[in-house]
A = this chain, B = another copy of it.
Amino acid sequence: MRNLLFKISYHGGAYHGFQVQKNAVAVQQVLQDGIEKVFGRREDIIGCSRTDTGVHANAYYFNMHTDSAIPCSGAVRGLNTVLPEDIAILSCTEVAEDFHARYCVREKEYIYKIWNAAVRNPFWNGLAYWHRYPLDAEKMRRACIPFIGEHDFRGFCSKGSDVEDTIRRITEMDVERNGDLLVIRVRGDGFLYNMVRIIVGTLLYVEQGKISCADLPEIIASGDRRRAGKTAPACGLYLNQVFYE
């Protein structure tokens, strides 16, 4: 049996995340509908990550076991023809039969985009979070440091997650300004439910002086969700890269 690994990108605005949901359209369901059209049968697919409602992906991976002989290039072309414009199949490669798009992930990188100008930008609607007051990128960059390394991030997790092990390692984190666009980049071995968005909200609180940068190590250690910042809006978040073993 073949095991195909697909790399895709999608605009998450119209979807209730990746994973199939009752009463809501998820990316997974739209992909499986497309696969049924192209492959002539419905196949199960394994996504690399749950992503929340409205979150985007520059690079998302899923794998699929199939008996079909359709060549990879034909699968890419066929799926791009039948899928809606907000999902693009970037590539398809044949991988070892035991490759698992989720379990084999070593690290993931998210980016969070903030349109930081006094006036909103009609072209960034739904693609970045608009923050109208000037943000001090250097101050936010300093506030990244306490997050880097292995921590119990249970205070940076929304309710509704059933994960028991809340220890995660953040390997890289920084903030870059490109004109009026601020990009926060977080790379790590795994992320809890809403973790990146709560970290972004906490950086914003530090920037605004609502939280002192010096208190961050203790706030992280406390595991108390109430001491972190607000959950930043979904529209600014992108799954940007996935690193496999």
Which residues from chain A sit less than 8 Å from chain B, CB to CB?
9-11, 56, 76, 80, 85-90, 119-123, 125, 127
Contact = CB atoms under 8 A, between A and B. Distances in A.
Copies in the complex: 2
Contacts of A120: 80, 85, 88
B56 A11 contact: no
Given A85-B120, A86-B125, 17 more contacts: A9-B122, A10-B122, A11-B125, A56-B122, A56-B123, A76-B119, A80-B119, A80-B120, A85-B122, A86-B122, A87-B122, A88-B120, A88-B121, A88-B122, A89-B119, A90-B119, A123-B127
Contacts of A88: 119-122
Contacts of A121: 9, 88
Nearest to A87: B122
Contacts of A127: 123
B119 A11 contact: no
